[in-house]
Amino acid sequence: MILVVEDDAGIADIIRRTLEDEDMQVALARDGEEGVRLGIELQPALVMLDMMLPLLPGEAVAAQLRRQPGGGPPIVVLSAAADIARIASAVGAVGFLAKPFDLDEVVELVERTIGPRLSRGN
């Protein structure tokens, strides 16, 4: 299961459809509080996390997920910020995608991060 925490419905839906087309299971959270709740409840293999979220910013979501046993799931940061690499490093992310991104990049990063078999629930 991959959790996408993104408040832009268009971006979230296209990521979801792209990953589902690759036979990956995806859950969506539209704000930071829902992202934390689903991140704890679902125990995803990967969290794709926008930094600019309503109710709770991405940095706080990452911090709360990191408090989970084992350090929580790996996180990939989604952002249009010029300093995305620094932001990703600051929150302990394993990678990042700069907006706008190519959809092939999404699939490649997920597979590189958690492996093609795990990402497809095998």
**DSSP letter assigned to residue 8:** -
Q: Looking at residue 117, what is its pLDDT?
A: 55
Sheet bearing 46-50, strands edge to edge: 26-29, 2-5, 46-50, 75-79, 95-98
pLDDT tens for each residue of 22-51: 999 999 999 999 999 999 999 999 999 999
Number of domains within the chain: 1
13 and 56 Cβ atoms separated by less than 8 Å: no
Query: Does residue 55 register a pLDDT over 70?
Result: yes
Q: What is the mean pLDDT of the chain?
A: 93
Query: Does residue 121 register a pLDDT over 60?
Result: no
26 and 8 Cβ atoms separated by less than 8 Å: no
CATH of the domain at 46: 3.40.50.2300
Query: Does residue 122 register a pLDDT over 50?
Result: no
Q: Domain residues for 88?
A: 2-119
